[in-house]
Amino acid sequence: MAKFCANCGTKLDDNQMFCHHCGKPVEPQTMENHASQPNGNPAKQSNPQSLAKKAVTQSGAANQDIWETIRRDYLRPEGRLNRKAYIIRQCIVSVASMIPYMLLEMELEILAGAFFLLLGIAGLMLNIKRCHDLDKTGWFVLLLAVPLLNAVILLYLLFARGTYGDNDYGPDPLQ
């Protein structure tokens, strides 16, 4: 039976103790919580009205989950971030940084400024999480403000392997 992280919904291996996506401990699953028919559909949902209510609830929950995922992955400094996730998320932030320039073209300076601020915070939080994976404090990111040294620090953040196993900032994101 497939296991999924209760926090982020990522599919997990049967022997995993932590989610490799969000780092949360995997909760044990019981059969009564996940009873299903042979076709994989939940066993207790035959009423069309309850199905409609569940669909509406799930779509609202899905939207809420998306915003919670964005807050957790991009706007909070807690946890660790491995190299692959760091590079992918920095690319997403870089592509999203084109939005404020389009807003400036439409003369929406306040909205563009808010986007720049949000993307700056997201980039900072990603750098802090990457520092945590390298067992460095988040204050290490301040070295990116030093000319010439910032290039060396950025290369270090991009290519250095994170610490093996757990460290002061959480479990290994690769396990």
The 3 state secondary structure assigned to the chain is: CCEECCCCCCEECCCCCECCCCCCECCCCCCHHHCECCCCCECCCCCHHHHHHHHHHHHHHHHHHHHHHHHHHHCCCCCCCCHHHHHHHHHHHHHHCHHHHHHHHCCCHHHHHHHHHHHHHHHHHHHHHHHHHCCCCHHHHHHHHCCCHHHHHHHHHHHCCCCCCCECCECCCCC
pLDDT at 66: 82
pLDDT at 62: 65
pLDDT at 60: 58
The residue ranges of the chain whose pLDDT is under 50 are 30-47, 51-52, 56
pLDDT at 28: 64
